Structure formats: structure tokens, C-alpha cells
Structure 1
Amino acid sequence: MYDYDVIFIGAGHASWHAAMILLQAGKKMAFVERDVVGGTCTNYGCNAKILLDTPFNYLDGLKRYQGIGISELPKPDWTSLMNYKKKVISPLNKIMEGMFENAHMPVIHGNGKLVDAHTVDVDGRKITAENIVIGTGEHAMKQNIPGKEYIHDSRDFLDLDSFPARIAFIGGGIIAMEFASIAVQMGAQTTVIEYTDRVLRMYPEKYVGRVVDKMKAAGASFLLNHEVKEISKKGSSYVLTFADGSTLETDYVLEATGRAANTENLGLEDLGISYSRRGIQVDDHMRTSVPNIYASGDCVDKRIPKLTPTATFESNYIATQILGINPNPIQYPVIPNLVFTLPRISQVGVTLEQAEAQPDVYDIEVAEFGKRLLFEAKNQPDAEFTFIFNKKRELVGGAFYGEDAGTNADIAALIINQKLTGMQLNQMIFTFPTESQALLNLLTPLMLKKV
């Protein structure tokens, strides 16, 4: 007889969604958490980011109307905004823990380590379960260079009480570019340092270039093909020394060069569960090499985007496996992804790069949304949609640039996943005038176009 039906190691999105389904089925469960309940996204990731980002997104929109209805722009107050963020976000983990406890799903705080297929040791306390789900997420990586103790990560930035006058971002990926977009709006001397020859390599270069140009026009600097070799302290500031001998002085250093799966101190090797820095290896039913031990979310070794919705999807799927109601292997839909730069860039399905490399397989159509429907594009002339079709004129991918790029990608994902045809879209009516209706109006004729 086990203590629980399921033990979740980690209490973030990769775990608690499955727990809520299993709870309705009468299962007995517990969470083991060594950090805070809710995980990265809830406490120091997505939620905090979007709360802090939203005023800057509005401010960016107001700038487009300056001189045509808007005369004086408001000035952002970081201290007040951060106080609000702490008021809203900080209690969430306690609220969630209380919800779990009230549902008789206790949270056991401490490091959970696998002892055998059914036993977890939490700092000396052994608990057992029929099934175990590992949902431990990832952590920010840090370069092993002299002065690494001066480096901050995304968690630090999202809890920053006062904004620095100068800030340097090491890395040109999603996190760095999102935070740099905020820093530019704050009026900080912003520098993005990238080891390769371009930032945001996972997104279409033509749209990334527009974001970069806009940030440069606002005062940001981009140091491409630069490698930081050392960081030293100079009074109250810091000096970054690059491989070519050049230097940069700044007040705050944030590194966002990647994340690694949280696999340490889990006892994986003792049970023969394979893993790497990329994560834990699972089969097509999300099972590790020990059949009753599953892994979910960012701690999994996978090629699909490591996003909160992906973790939620996997968590829900694992619940169906534990309940024995779904014999099928996991099948991922196309997954839209969005970078919260100003403006946004999103993509879904077949990428523009893939389509350009296979012109015999795909057709590319560009719809200049901003130039054709400026009022619907919220006065953003360069807002644009790029649609990717197969030779049957079915939508298979898309890339979007503009304030509403996230909504655009979501609608495209629905069309792709449901394999909707141009004729079916032609039978739909959306609200007007909205960004979703604009996408429908621009996309439908292209899908009905005879090639």
C-alpha cells in the first residue's frame, strides 16, 4: 500500500494541471517542492514579465499616435510598477499552496530524490506512490568566467527595485530581447551582447531586423560577434572585457544565454534514468525508462518549444496515462510561440526559413497588414503577416510582426491544427474591426487563390 497514488516532484505547470484532473478522478496526491509553489512561470517568469511589460506595450502604442491625438506621453515609474508587481505576483505561490492543501494535496517542502520506482526521499523523509511525475523545470545558466558573481539572471531582473541607468544583456535570445525592449523604454543605456552574428535566431530575420532597427533608433546598442571574457568591478559600476580586448562599462549585467534542465540531486542515475543538460529522456508516452515514472515540462529532453502551454499540454496528457483512458502516444499540435519585444514577433508551424529552403513544397505570401489596413493595425505601418501554404493551398505556417502578433499566431494555429480550408474560412464571420477579422480578410483570398 502506497502513501499516495501520485507524487509530483515540482509544483509548477508541468505538475499541477495533471493533479487537478486526477483530483476529479479521486486520486490521492502530494507535491514535493524545493523552491516555490507554482514554478518559474507563476512566480518569476511569464506572469511577472507580462505584468511589467504591459505598460511599456501601451506606451509604445501611444507613441504611434503622438501628434495625431496624443500630445504628451506618460513617463514610466519603475519603482511604483515593481511595487505593484510584488503586490500581485508575490502572494500567488501561497494562494496556490493553500488551494492544494484545501484539496487534500499536501505540499512537502524540500529536495525530492528518487530512492526506487515508488519512493521519494524528501530531506530524510520517505514517501511512496504508485506513480511519480517529475516536473522540475529549468534554471538559468551562467558563464564560468572571472567576475561571474556580478552577473544577474532573469529572476533578479523581475525583482529589480530600481532601474539602472546603464544595463548590459549578455545573450540575444528571447529573455534578453524582451527585457532590453523594456530597458530602452525606461531610457536606460541599453547594450545587447551576442556571441553570434544575429539576435533572436529562432525568428524570421526580416522581422527581427525591424525590432533591432527600432531599438537602435531609440538608443540601444548591439554588439554582435562579441564574447565576454571577464567582468570586473569599478566603483559602483562594472567593466565587461571582450575577447578582442575591448571593454564596456555598465551599471547592471544580466546574462540570458540559455537554460538547463533541473536534473541534479534527483537520483536519476541510481534508477538508470537517462538525462543530459537538455533534460530527461522520455518515450512517446512521457515515461522515463522506469515505466511508472513520468517527466513533464521544461525538464524533458525535447525539440519542441519549451513553453508553459507545452508543459500544460504534457501534464494533461500524463493525467490521461495514469488514469488509463488514453492508449495513444502523445501527439503535439503545431505550437505558436511569441517573443514580447516591442512590437511582438510570433510564428507557428512551418517556419519562413524552412519554407524558403523548399520552394517546391511551400508557397509564401506576404500580407502588408499595416499598409493596407492602418487603422486596424493600430497605426503601425510595418505590421505584417507572412503566410506559408503547401501546394494544396492549405495553411501550414505563419510569421507575424506587430502589436497583435500573439493573437495572429493563435488564430493561425487553430486553422492549421483543424486543417480548415479557404472555403470554410469563407463561411466565417468575425467581429469588426479587429485584428482577428483583418487576418481572416487577408488570409481567405490567399487560400482560395488558384496556383
Structure 2
Amino acid sequence: MCLTDSVHNFRIWVNLWYLKFGYCDSGNHISRNTKIMKIEEFDVFVIGSGTAGQTVAEACIKGGLTVAMADYREFGGTCANRGCDPKKVLLAGTEVLEMAGHLEEKKVVTLPRLNWKKLQKFKKGFTNAVPVKTEDKLSKLGVKLYHQSPHFLDENTLSVEGKTVKAHKIVIATGYTPRELPFKGAEHLKTSDDFLNLKKMPKRLTFIGAGYVGMEFAHMAARAGAKVTVIDTGNRPLADFDTDLVDELTEYSKLMGIDFIFNATVNAVKKSKKKYQLNYEKNGKSERISTKLIFNTAGRVPALAELGLEKGNVAFDENGVKVNTYLQSTSNQNVYACGDVSNHSVPLTPLSGREGYVVSHNIIAGNTKKIDVPVVPSAVFTLPNLASVGYSEKQVKERYKNVVIKKESASDWFNAKRLNSPIYSYKILINERTDKIIGAHLLGPYAAETINLFAMAINNGMTTNDIQRTIFTYPSWGNDMKSMV
């Protein structure tokens, strides 16, 4: 054995000894200050534990792959923990108040009162169990769980909980986060999470932003007894919905006692001992209001800030991770994105599950399934509901030569009259050449349910004649669809 071989064997022995005690050979010398970091490896690493992330994890596990998942918040995602589900539970209490108020002196003798504290306790019966059940389900499937937001080290490597993790495929399903507002005192603003967990309803609330969340919460708070102000930079709320129906909803909201401040820019928020002062500018004049709490409901953005996407070579923009039709990153073929965080997505929970299915299929079988987004309905759970599917009136006039627009107030129809509901309106858009429905917009009780029938009709290319020939239960809100077309 030559001297070189002896030295080489000795060096191997030394390295093994140092590895055993946590040191490493750094190049040509032994570094006693460098701790060996064990690298954990998985076939798939999912970032985010909402509907999209869970769909991917479960499918990949069943496909025989090793899977890990990380979330820095409660497992289960936004919708089940702090979004759609708890919102609808709280809404239930105000629905009773709304209906009883319309029927006062008609069928209801004494109006009910809302106990916000008990309503919150009822809501917790839905939300408290979600994280534990989600983790238990995923653990039993064999998913390794991490409780921290990871960040990229390179295209296939993440750092999470102080560990280095490599994955053949990485799935980003982190959803949305509240948009940060750039004025002085913005740190005093509360979020939708805070509203959904309010122990007591304050006497006065202000919402910055008149979108879905701002309008829904404003309606709930007003019915729970709060004096509500909604301030927005636009000239009306709910910019994505039909103008005529939004105007009608706005006027009804004012009758409830909700104050609107439009075309206004918030400049600052100041905190005093018991209240907040909100300073804003409107028509070149500085104004201010005093309020107990202020909520940021100015929209949400893709939750990407903590991921270090640049190091992972993951392209993104203000709409989310840039993906192709396979929901694969356009810049890193090892990364997929699904749910709200994808720039291909519509921020709705049902679509998140569909995207999760597409991603898991493409990871397991290769890129053979493209995302096909159907016409998706959306609804604002104010009371009355505002709901929409398909094209707007402006869009159809730009795309079609001949369009039939059926618009009417249906407040004198049986279903509205039996509830003594003051508002029930619709606008249905029909392609005159094909007789197919191409857009539907509803404002009224249970509009969020009825809109699903219109979505089904549009996605299946149904004509008005097809709908007229369909037998519905009577009298029902669904049956009103036949009169609308």
C-alpha cells in the first residue's frame, strides 16, 4: 500500500469519526465549527394546508409518493378556519334578524335579539376542531407535517423549521393574505380574522374597502347593532358586479344605517386611549372620523412574500405564481402552484380543489391534464345576496351583435311577497342567435343558491327553451328561473 493510499484511508476514518460527532471535512481541512445538517428528502413538498394543498397531498400519497406539507398557521386553510365557513355561521344569526324584521307585524310579534357572544361560541364549534382533524387525517395518510413557512434555498431545496428539505416536486398552495396598506398608522388596522373572532360587537366600526369582505362584514355588524362606515377609493362598492344591482344593494344598505364614503383616500390612522381616528381626503378636502375599530378589507393578494421565490427560480407577479395550463411554474419545472396563489386561478374554494386534482395528476402521471376552468358563479353574502355568473352586460355588448337583456324587479313575485322582502331583482343576458344564456345577475333572498342553476345552464349550453321545459318544485326560488328567462 502506498503512502497516498494510507493517508487516504486515514482521512476517511477521520471523516467518519467527525460525522459521528457532527463535524465535517470542509475541503482540505476539518472544520470543527460546521455542524452537519441532515437533509430530508420527499417526492412532493406541499406549502399550504387548505383545500388545494390537501387535495394534492392525499392524491400523491395514494399514488405511492412520499409527501410533506408545511403551514405556518392552523392546518386546514383559510376557508375552514378563518374564511367562508365561519363567516356563513355568523351570517346565520343575522339571517334570522333580517327575515323577522321583514315579517314584523305580519307574522312575527316580537323581534329576536342577537347574542353575539353566543353566536361566536356556536361558530367555534365549527372551527376549533378543524386544525386537529386536518393534521390527524394527513398524519394517518403518512404526510410529514411542518409548522412553519418554508423558504426556497434553490430550485428543489427548502429550509423549514431549521431543517433542509429536498423535494422532487414542490407545490405552492399558500392562498391569499390581506393587502398591506401604505399609510401611517396602518399597523393599527384589524383584519378579517379579527372580525370573525370579535368577542363583543363594538358600537362603531369602519371598514376600508367595499369589496366582498367589507360589504359582508358591514351587513353583519350593522344587523348586530353597530354603527358602520365603509370607505373606498372607488365610486361604488363591489366593482366586479352588475352596476344596476349594486346600486340597488347600496341604497338598501344605507337604509340599514351603513354610511358610505366613496372616492376617498385614507391618509392616516391614529390611536387614542379608547378609539381610533381615521383621516382621509375626498374632493381635495381633508376629513376625519372617529371609530372604535378599523378593519382592512381592501382586498387580498397572493401569499408569497415569505417563500423566497427568487432563490427557487419561481417567476411570479402581482396575480401570483406564473404557471402554464398544467399549473406548472413557467420558470421552474419542479414547481407547481394551485389555488388562489396561482395567477391562473379564480379565488374560490371549489376551484382550488379542482386545481389541486390537476396538479396531483400531473405530478404522478406527467403533464397530461390541463386546467379547464368552467364558468364559475360568485356571490356576496350580504342580505339580500348578490350573485353573478357569466358575462356582464358590458362584456356581452362588446362580444355579441344581438343580445336579449331581461331585467326586472321581482319584488312582487310570490317568493318575495311571502317573505315580505323589499328587494328581489334580476338581469339575464341571452344570445339572441342561439337562445343560450350567457350571463345571469341576481339580487335577492337565496340568490347565492339560485345562481348555481344558472351556472349549470351556462356550462351545459342550455337555451331558454331548455329551462322552460324543465320541471322544478313549486313554489321555489329555483322555479323563478323559468320566469326570468
TM interval, shorter chain, is over 0.9
Quote the residue 1:246 is aligned against: 287
Q: 2:98 aligns with which of 60, 71, 78?
A: 60
Larger mean CA deviation between 156-165 and 202-211 belongs to: 202-211
The residue matched to 2:415 in structure 1 has which SS? coil
Residue 124 of structure 2 is matched in structure 1 by 86
2: CA distance, partners of 1:194 / 1:104: 47
CA positional deviation for 1:347: 0.4
Q: 1:376 to 1:438 in 2, by over 3 A?
A: farther
Report the count of equivalent residues.
Answer: 442
Contact 1:141–1:260, Cα closer than 8 Å, also in 2: yes
Which residues in structure 2 correspond to 1:41-440 (within 5 Å)? 41-243=79-281, 244-288=285-329, 289-302=331-344, 305-324=346-365, 327-357=368-398, 360-374=401-415, 378-390=419-431, 391-439=433-481
- Quote how far apart the aligned CAs of 1:379 are: 3.2
Which structure has the larger Rg? 2
Q: Residue by residue, what CA displacement relative to the aligned partner does 1:389-419 show, whole Å, maximum 9, x if unpaired?
A: 1131111111011121111211111111111
Which residue is equivalent to 1:24? Answer: 62
Give the C-alpha shift of residue 275 in structure 1: 1.1
State the alpha-carbon separation in 2 of the partners of residues 426 and 231 from structure 1: 55
Residues 292-315 of structure 1 show CA distances to partners (whole Å, capped at 9, x for unaligned) of: 31001111224x531112212211
| Cα contact 2:185–2:268 (8 A) shared by 1 | yes
- The CA RMSD measured in Å over matched residues stands at 2.1
The range that moved more, 164-173 or 87-96, is: 87-96
Are residues 376 and 431 of structure 1, via their aligned partners in 2, closer, same or farther at CA, if it must alter by over 3 Å?
Answer: farther
Q: Which residue identity lines up with residue 173 of structure 2 in the other structure?
A: G
What does residue 449 of structure 1 align with?
none
Q: Please, what TM-score do these two structures have when normalized by structure 2?
A: 0.86
Q: Does structure 1 conserve the Cα–Cα contact (< 8 Å) formed by 2:416 and 2:424?
A: no
Match of 1:271, SS state, is: coil
- SS of residue paired to 2:103: coil
How far 1:264 sits from its partner (Å)? 1.9
User: Is the 1:363–1:389 contact (alpha carbons within 8 Å) kept by the matching residues of 2?
Assistant: yes
SS of residue in 1 equivalent to 2:174: coil
Unpaired stretches in structure 1, ≥5 consecutive residues: 447-451
Alpha carbons 1:196, 1:226 under 8 Å: kept: yes
Alpha carbons 2:211, 2:239 under 8 Å: kept = yes
Residues 432 and 376 of structure 1: CA distance in aligned 2, closer, same or farther (over 3 Å): farther
Contact 1:376/1:438 (8 A) holds in 2: no
CA separation of 1:150 and 1:321: change in aligned 2, threshold 3 A: same
- What letter matches 2:430 in structure 1? F
**Larger deviation: 117-126 or 331-340?**
117-126
Q: Distance in 1 between matches of 2:309 and 2:85?
A: 31
2:425 touches 2:443 (CA, 8 Å); kept in 1?
A: yes
Q: Is the 8 A contact 1:37 1:93 kept in 2?
A: yes
Residue 426 of structure 1, CA deviation: 4.3
Distance 1:235 1:162 in 2: 18
Q: 1:126 to 1:333 in 2, by over 3 A?
A: same
Q: Check 1:234–1:11 CA distance in 2 against 1; reply closer, same or farther (3 A cut).
A: same
Question: Match of 1:371, SS?
Answer: coil
> 1:153·1:254 contact (CA, 8 Å) conserved in 2?
yes
1:428 maps to amino acid = T
Q: Give the distance between the partners of 1:299 and 1:375, measured in 2 at CA.
A: 39
